[in-house]
Structure 1
Amino acid sequence: MSVGIGKAIATGFAQAGAQSVSILGRREGRLIAAVADIRAAAINAASVVGYEVADLLKREEVDRAFQSILAQTGNIEILVCNAAVLPAVGPLSGYDADQFMNNFSINVLSTFNTLQAFLPLAPPNATIINITAAAAHIVPMPGASAYAVGKAASLKMVDYFAAENPNLHIVSMQPGTVATDMTDLPGHFCVWLASPEARFLKNKIIWANWDVDELVARSGEIENLRLLTCGLNGVPM
């Protein structure tokens, strides 16, 4: 959460007046720099902006980080799962198995540990925003299997977590490919996803570049049908 889309999301919440914003990551130098930028963007001078150094592949570090944040802020209402790695592109045949599984582990286990650590601390109706990718649910793109498989597994895991914890408001967001530092769109879209207006998107998959007004206009249709979910087309199940 110290660079790119993750930092933009944290900045968006600070700009929206969040009482506290906390980010996690492995590199303390980047975290310190990100916190300074996020704090400068906050419209609420009383906002608590902080960081915790944690390797999300190590459950004990994630637990410690969440306990520390809770002690400082008193409550964690919104969780954004953003950790991921973009593996090298290459065909499945000939791809190094160790590299493939390492990429898979990062893209799945980081979210797994984060969800497990957050659940005991989550207040009723807490919000979880899972940052997914188009590769997880669109037609296959040759060469992208190492990334797509991990993100697809993570997406399905979040689906199960949502089904097992129906009190939580969980949304998966595809932020788009951001080729520049202009990451405001997915950052601000995440803030909207956490708002009361977006409650109809519970357990849905959403793209950050979709029109909010059009989504709201179709909220009844989206909420009551299997739209914006992964499934088998043509079969009502």
Structure 2
Amino acid sequence: MPASQDVVVPKWVSFTEKWHNKPYKTISPKRPELSAAGKNVIVTGGGTGIGKAAAIAFAQAGAKSVSILGRRLDRLEASKEAILAQAANPSEIQVLYEVADLRKREEVDAAFSSIVAKVGKLDILVNNAGAMAPPTPALKYAAESFSVMFETNVTTTLHATQAFVSSAGSTPILINISASLVHIQPMGGMAAYTASKAAQLKLIEYLGAENPQLHTVNLHPGVVATEIGGPGSDLIGQDEVELPGQACVWLASEEAKFLKSKFVWANWDAEELVNRRKSIQSSRLLTVGLDGVEM
């Protein structure tokens, strides 16, 4: 891997007046309005970080089942224990895990088939699995390493979504953990990761357009301390990991139905978004495109 470079952190600009760095009442999974009762939820990359936080949040919201996928058995086992410990109904919820490399379609299919055999049709997918390479100037990046980012962030998304839709009920919901880098000004050294997440974003757009029954939302999770960030990043730990975890529950609820096919940040205030739902739903607000050109 080529030598890395420092990342220049931008000044964040918010779509809402309020800006959140930690969980708050409106997105609390304990709100009755956000209940996930009867829902079968699956989270990729659910052994650590944002995926683990999302899995816990859905368990707190009373989901029928929460299933997590990942490559490391020890992380999945620990995550399962944490999910059960914080579940609203620990004696009733099914918490499952499957070891799978999401880059390999046969392992993904086997994992989903095993889960569906135990819980039935799936309702919600949190697509969280991914990776970030050390910051490196694009001109110094090895093509092979560049390709790894696409395999890890795009191919995994394709495999997981294909398996999910074929195993889902009539109104499937896909919450995709995206990144602000796909729409903000370039940050030096982040070309590989950003290019792969931009490709992932367009993939999600096409999956939603080609499958109208599929409710998709892209979520920038904030800046949290996770294993994906790697060493030496100035972006580590500005936000609590529970913020995006609980945001996923809110985004999967009836309150957030108006955000279908939109891109949102976990830091933005959910109540303010609801108050602007008419303008958001009836326009290209919160979508990624070419400024000044409506098409």
Q: Could you tell me the TM-score, scaled by structure 2's length?
A: 0.79
Q: Deviations over 1:119-175 (max 9, x none)?
A: 211211111101000111211111100110000000001000000001111101000
Higher share of residues assigned helix? 1
Unaligned runs of 5+ in 2: 1-45, 226-236
Q: For residues 5-31 of structure 1, what are the alpha-carbon distances to aligned partners after superposition, in whole Å with 9 as ceiling and x for unaligned?
A: 110000000011111000000111110
| 1:226 corresponds to 2:284 | yes
Are the counterparts in 1 of residues 56 and 87 from structure 2 also a CA contact under 8 Å?
yes
The answer for unaligned runs of 5 or more in structure 1 is: none
| Percent identity (aligned) | 53
1:125 to 151, 168, 171: 171
**Displacement after TM superposition at 1:182 (Å):** 3.2
The residue type paired with residue 267 of structure 2 is: N
Deviation, structure 1 residue 74: 1.3
1:61-92 deviation line (CA, Å, top 9, x unaligned): 10111111111111210001111101010110
State the alpha-carbon separation in 2 of the partners of residues 82 and 108 from structure 1.
11
C-alpha separation between the residues in 2 aligned to 1:52 and 1:132? 23
Corresponding residue of 1:89: 135
- Paired with 2:294 and 2:148, the residues of 1 have a C-alpha distance of 36
Residue in structure 1 matched with residue 69 of structure 2 by the alignment: 24
One-letter identity of the residue aligned with 1:31 = L
Matched-pair contact (CA < 8 Å) for 2:165–2:172: no
Q: CA RMSD in A?
A: 1.0
Equivalent of 2:99 in 53, 56, 59: 53
Counterpart pick for 2:181 among 116, 119, 135: 135
- 3-state DSSP of counterpart to 1:123: strand
Helix, strand or coil at the partner of 2:102: coil
Aligned residues: 237
CA distance, structure 1, for counterparts of residue 101 and residue 84 of structure 2: 23
The amino acid of 1:11's aligned partner reads I
Moved over 2 A (4+): 179-182
SS at match of 2:68: strand
Question: Take 2:129 and 2:187, find their aligned partners in 1: how far apart are those partners?
Answer: 22
Instruction: Give the structure-1-normalised TM-score.
Output: 0.98
Match of 1:37 in 2: 82
For residue 119 of structure 2, what is the aligned residue in structure 1?
73
Larger RCO, structures 1/2 (Cα 8 Å, 6+ apart): 2
Q: Report the counterpart of residue 56 of structure 2 in structure 1.
A: 11
